Every structure is written in C-alpha cells, then in structure tokens.
Amino acid sequence: MLKISDLRVSVDGKPILNGINLDLPKGQVHAIMGPNGSGKSTLAKAIMGHPKYTVEAGQVLLNGESLLTMKPDERARKGIFLGFQYPTSIPGVSVSNFMRATSKAITGKEIAVKEFRPLLKERMKTLEIEDKFLGRYVNEGFSGGEAKRLEILQMLMLQPKLAILDETDSGLDIDALKTVAHGIDRYRGPEVSILLITHYQRLLNYVKPDRVHVLVAGKLVRSGGADLALELERMGYEPFEKAA
C-alpha cells in the first residue's frame, strides 16, 4: 500500500526527516512512536503533501504510484486520509454539511440527504455521538474527545485506503480513548492500511498494531512487533535517543 524510500524532509531549510524507509502493506496497522520533535507529525504531513514541508530527496508511493507530484486534494482523492493532532474549527459550517461536502469532494458524487443521513447516523453510533452533534459547527467549542471523534467519523465516512492518524489519542480521557479506538478497530480490514502516530503505548492496548517503529531524530531506529511498544513503556525513549 505505502512504500517510503530514503525520505528526507526539511522545514524552512532545517532538516527534519533524515532518510525514512517504511513499507506498510495492505491490511496492516503500523504504529510510529517517538519523543517530541522526532519528526512524527512531519512524516504525516509530508505524506499528505503539506506545502510547508519540503521533500529534499526520496520517494513516497501509494500502490506503486508516486505521490510527490500531487497536491494534497489529489492525494486525498487517491485514498489518503490524515487525522489531525489539533483539528481546526470551522465556524459557521455544521458537521452535517461538512460531512456531505467532504464526501462529495472525495468521491465526486452528490449523495442525496435521505441516503447520506442514515449512513452517517449509523457510523455515529459506533463513536457514541449524539444526533445533536450534527447541527454544531465543526470543532467550534468541541472538547478534545469530541474533536477526535469527529476525525474518526470522517475516516469511517470517507473510507480511505490509507488512514494516517496523528496522535489521535492526545488529550483523551480513558472513556474517549476506548471509543475512538473502537472506531479505528472497526475500520481496519484486508483492503485498508492504517498508520498510527503516537507518543504512548496506551492506544495500542486497544488497537493492536502489526508493527511498531521507533522514530528518533528524523530516523527510524528500530522496528518490531507489538511488544516493542511495551518495551518503550518500560524503558522510555532515552536508550533509543542515545543509539541514534
């Protein structure tokens, strides 16, 4: 699904990623863990095509097709979804209208309200979202848990091939974390790949990854199975930072 080769990315002339190599097969969930400033969010935004992040070298392929010449909206239509660490509020735009607009933008098709609304509500139940949520403005006055639920709801509605979730667990209490994790687990399947970016192992108690990668100083310094996250929980990042 996703193949990254020797990816080098800078921001305002400062190198952030220093040669990332990563293969994420179809049907798998991979987690990237690392300390603050290691380049985790940079990797997510570079894959999505954020213009602030300059790719100096390397390659990013989705199903064998290069993404680097595509604009962010083209990448989205190819099937990439990015769940933000800090979702942006959109005053004046209701959740209901936003969800229909994003679905049309990705699929290129207008979905009738009588078809769209039942599907949306069915997926809202997975995330324990009440109907009144639909009339609120996107992320305006939302709690951290509400904003992250909306990110996962977008994923469930847009049905991307590759979902990149950037610190979706950040700022969540245990109940919200379980609900969001349930939504992620519901979406995983043989035709979907998910890249989880997180500081902590706690999300991985509920969404078990196929592989865990440790990112330090812009490099993937170690990869392993789900047990690697438990090792990080015990040891912290310091041994890996010294090794880098």
Q: What residues contact residue 132 under an 8 Å CB cut-off, 6+ apart?
A: none
Encoded tokens for 13: 């002339």
Question: How far apart (Å, rounded) are the C-alpha atoms in residues 97 and 117?
Answer: 11
Residues 140/85, Cβ–Cβ less than 8 Å: no
Question: How far apart (Å, rounded) are the C-alpha atoms in residues 1 and 163?
Answer: 11
- At 188, which CATH number? 3.40.50.300
- Write out the chain's pLDDT in tens, 244 residues: 899 999 999 999 999 999 999 999 999 999 999 988 899 999 999 999 999 999 999 999 999 999 999 999 999 999 999 998 888 899 999 999 999 999 999 888 888 888 888 889 999 988 888 888 889 999 999 988 889 889 999 999 999 999 999 988 887 888 888 988 988 998 999 999 999 998 888 889 899 999 999 999 999 999 999 999 988 888 888 888 776 6
Structural domain total, the chain: 1
What are the Cα distances from residue 12, in Å, to 15, 54, 84?
Answer: 9, 8, 21
pTM of the model: 0.91
Give the tens place of pLDDT for each residue, 104-124. Answer: 998 888 888 888 888 899 999
Which residue in this structure is represented by tokens 């979406």?
Answer: 187
Please give the sequence-ordered ranges of beta strands (E in DSSP) within 137-210, or none if there are none. Answer: 137-138, 162-166, 193-198
